[in-house]
Amino acid sequence: MNMAPELMKLVERFEDVYLPLRDQQHAVADFVRGDSEYPYWAHLKADRETVAAHIELLEYQDDDTKAGSTTSMPAILGVPYGMLAEVRAINDMRDNLASFLRETDKEETPEGLRLSKYLLEKAGLRRFNRKVAGRTFRVLDGRPESISFTWSQSTTTHKLSRDEAVAVAARKIVKTRDKKQLKLLQSEQSLLMELPEGEILARVYEPSPQPKMNIIIDGKRMPVTTAHLPLFYPSKPGERLPVIIPLPKKWEQRLRVRRSDATLDDVPLCPILNIHRYLPEDKLRKKKK
């Protein structure tokens, strides 16, 4: 079967999804760059060019950027009411792009390349960042009274059996070249193998801090939301900004302990692998006192 015509059709379909998104983002970003009349605030007094660049951003900024990493640009932008529909359209198109890529993740080219990767490279998006592209802009229908920013971080846990934990250690061992690190991992694997066969463990992940914002509008507090991207609200030229409590310049580590984490031993059984044991009932009762 000749795949060339099918691939060309898919490239065209991808362009139908991606190009309108690119153009719409450019249009909104260009307004932000050129405007000097509507309300504007950005974290650490970032200039309009920096904020506009984040509106357009869909890729890693360079080849050396760590996979999965992202940047944030908290900002408050007052815009003409008609522009709100344009920003909402960007959100919809980002969702459509994510859905299209998930669909093509399941297929391959005749050369064995994942189809989504092939399409991204054809479009010149070699450094495409799915996490960044999957984010959407917060759009308000009215002027907020106040917006306060905070840092937030909470641990997440993943339950796994003893055998699964041993397998995690084995994968780490295979990939490790540092001799000292290798010995420590082998020691942790041996420790895991000594545990009862049916014991359930937990691997703890500590994600990077996330900027969050609290919004009050019409006297009501809205659900807390992330603040990775600018917020848009309807405004008029020369109108004053709402009350803004900025994001602290420095993040202080104050982890939020989830209820599920409270049943874990504070000291990890395997520090390198971040694997903890669950507390027995007697220790758990003492911890609650």
* pLDDT tens, position by position, 152-183: 876 778 889 999 999 999 999 998 889 999 99
| Terminal alpha carbon distance of the chain | 70
pLDDT in tens, 188-209: 999 999 999 889 999 887 767 8
**Do 90 and 227 share a structural domain?**
yes
Q: What percent of the chain has pLDDT over 70?
A: 87
- Domain range spanning residue 199? 156-205+257-288
CA distance 216 to 222: 6
Does 144 lie in the same domain as 108?
A: yes
Tell me: the pLDDT tens digits for 236-285?
A: 999 999 999 998 876 655 544 454 555 888 889 999 999 999 988 644 44
Residue 250 lies in a domain: no
Whole-angstrom CA distances from 232 to 143, 225, 239 are 9, 14, 14
Is 270 inside a domain boundary?
yes
**pLDDT at 289 exceeding the cut of 90:** no
The answer to whether 119 touches 14, Cβ cutoff 8 Å, is yes
Residue 51 lies in a domain: yes
Specify whether the CB–CB gap between 8 and 204 falls below 8 A. no
Do residues 86 and 224 share a domain?
A: yes
Q: How confident is the model at residue 231 (pLDDT cuts 50, 70, 90)?
A: very high
Q: Are residues 164 and 68 in the same domain?
A: no
> Averaged over 2-10, what is the pLDDT?
76
Domain count along the chain: 2
C-alpha distances out from residue 128 to 35, 106, 135, Å: 28, 18, 13
Instruction: Look over the chain and give the mean of its residue pLDDT values, rounded to a whole number.
Output: 87
Q: Check if the beta carbon of residue 269 is closer than 8 Å to that of residue 276.
A: yes
Tell me the per-residue pLDDT of 67-77, one tens digit each, with 9 for 90 and over.
556 788 999 99
Looking at residue 257, its pLDDT comes to 46
Together in a domain, 18 and 61: yes
